[in-house]
A = this chain, B = another copy of it.
Amino acid sequence: MTDSENGRRLHAVDDALLRRREAISDLGDALRLLIEHATATEAPTEELRRAAERIRQAAAPLGERARGRHEPPSADDMRAGVRLYNPVTGAGSAFAPPLEIHQEGEITVGACTLGLAFEGPPSYAHGGVSAMLLDQMLGYAAGASGNPGMTVRLDTGYRRPVPLLTPLRLTAEVVDVDGRRVTVAGSIATAAEPGEILVAATGVFVGLRAEQARRLFGAIAGRGEESRAG
């Protein structure tokens, strides 16, 4: 094969991967819409039965070729941090709001809006959902500081309930690095009142030693060296 042919082939592979990632995101959007409608619906009971049947029909062809627990999704790239099915941030995840995270200097900033499917106390987010968002924020901040690790502690303080269907602003910042041990603090507020903290958390993340990573992830097909937490 000439260099030029090789280049075209690589390019075609990349195009196929990009198209697959777009399709996974689009399927994620459809799933999130379906879940929000299914949670909020007051449609007649027979309509719920019909929807369940249609959903089983849509699910069947997807179940025909499935990966197992130790096979990462073919569209992911763990070394590059592409995790399409992450249940907090993944564009392909039905559970993810999805939380959008970016770095502003030393500060990690997140944004999302929680639908009715995240409800705990009436009209507010489930307390566990706030913990889940903060675990992701704090883990991201640890990684962004060059100290990726697995969560070993997550201490969450709830000051006021987190409203549903309201744009939220989350922040996280590394407060201490002690060898492989990183401490991160973060919070949830509404985007409208970013100074009024609703939930605050402190997390401790520890980078894995090579031998721990082998023990925990040795069974993962084609795994990278990364040890990012979830």
Residue numbers of A with Cβ under 8 A of B are: 16, 19-20, 23-24, 26-27, 29-31, 33-35, 37-43, 45, 47-70, 72-74, 78, 85-88, 92-95, 116-129, 131-136, 139, 150-158, 161, 163-165, 216-217, 219-220, 223, 227-230
Contacts and interface: CB of A to CB of B under 8 A. Distances in A.
A227 B122 CA distance: 9
Given A116-B69, A132-B132, A52 B23 contact: yes
A82 B120 CA distance: 12
A19 B154 CA distance: 41
B88 A128 contact: yes
A35 to B, nearest CB: 4
A161 B151 CA distance: 9
Given A121-B230, A150-B161, A153-B156, 16 more contacts: A16-B45, A20-B48, A23-B48, A31-B35, A31-B38, A37-B66, A38-B59, A42-B66, A43-B65, A69-B164, A85-B116, A121-B217, A122-B223, A127-B230, A131-B131, A150-B158
A59 B30 contact: yes
A121 to B, nearest CB: 5
B152 A155 contact: no
28 contacts: A26-B48, A26-B52, A27-B51, A34-B56, A34-B58, A37-B59, A37-B63, A39-B85, A41-B65, A42-B66, A50-B61, A51-B59, A54-B58, A69-B164, A86-B126, A87-B119, A95-B117, A121-B217, A122-B223, A124-B230, A126-B135, A126-B136, A127-B151, A127-B229, A131-B131, A131-B156, A154-B155, A156-B156
Contacts of A128: 87-88, 128, 131-136, 154, 230
Contacts of A56: 30, 33-34
A82 B129 CA distance: 20
